[in-house]
Structure 1
Amino acid sequence: MTSPKYIGVYFTIFLVMLLIDMVWLRVIAVTWYQEAMGPLLSDKPNLYAAAAFYFLFPLGLMIFGVLLQADANVLKAVGIGAAFGFFAYATYDLTNLAVIKNWPLGLTFLDIAWGTFVSGVSVGAGKLTFDYLKV
């Protein structure tokens, strides 16, 4: 499982997701999250937890969206990746909605939509890499 092909696929998914998510979180949606979450936001994010997410989530996308879809076309892989992102982000956001006082409903929908999108795009890039690499 550690062939250069798999490493290339993982890093493609990792980089695409990280870059798109940083633009989303730091440029596009930063104000939405700050306004919606207000006092719930930490002054200083837990970078270890963030790093764990950004290293583990692409692995899940690779396994379920690319490796288990090895014979599928790119569009099917994108759909599987989007579904994976939908369910993962829905689990997070709906759990927060259920247990955190004043968790914003609008943010729940926005974040689930974002997770669906970024996961689908990242898996699409990973699947293209998988199909391109002949290793």
Structure 2
Amino acid sequence: MINRYLVILITSVFVDMFWHVFIAPKLFREQIGHLMAKKAKVHAAILFYLINAAAILVFVINPSVEKQSIIQALGYGGFLGFAMYGTYNFTNLALLKNWPIKLTLLDLAWGTFSAATTSIISFGLINYI
């Protein structure tokens, strides 16, 4: 079980690096720069990745490996990403003044893609390790 968790955690971080290096900095600065801290709180990001990997393990990978279904991993992973990022983005949209719909939609799409991609890569790695 710990091996599966580590595969998911490492995969998730690598998949998300694309977003955090090439897209998010400019997008977030343009859309919500006035809300951004000067320096990211690394401990909060680490906590997210630890919880994210656990959720993917429990709700996506374990059931998908049991059924030997990469399609299930893709679908469940995408839905879990949509639910997690949707909770964040729709809460912000509902509660924060002038929260940008563009950011909501792009971040929601990324969360769905990221979790789905992490899930199918992890599924493949776990089945071949």
Same fold (TM over 0.5): yes
Task: State the alpha-carbon separation in 2 of the partners of residues 80 and 28 from structure 1.
Answer: 25
Q: Write the mapping of 1:38-53 to structure 2, written as runs, cut at 5 A.
A: 38-53=33-48
1:24 aligned residue (19, 23, 45): 19
Q: 2:79 is aligned with what amino acid?
A: A
Gaps in structure 2 of 5+ consecutive residues: none
Task: State the alpha-carbon separation in 2 of the partners of residues 72 and 96 from structure 1.
Answer: 37
Structure-2 residue corresponding to 1:90: 86
Task: State the alpha-carbon separation in 2 of the partners of residues 16 and 103 from structure 1.
Answer: 30
Q: Write the mapping of 1:1-135 to structure 2, written as runs, cut at 5 A.
A: 6-69=1-64, 70-133=66-129
Task: State the alpha-carbon separation in 2 of the partners of residues 42 and 104 from structure 1.
Answer: 18
Q: 1:117 is aligned with what amino acid?
A: F
Shift of 1:14: 1.2
The alignment's C-alpha RMSD in Å is: 1.3
TM-score by length of 1: 0.88
Q: Give structure 1 regions of 4+ aligned residues with deviation exceeding 4 angstroms.
A: none
SS at match of 1:45: coil
Aligned residue pairs total 128
TM-score by length of 2: 0.92
Q: 2:59 is aligned with what amino acid?
A: F
Q: Which of the pair is proportionally richer in helix?
A: 2
Aligned residues with identical type, % of pairs: 34
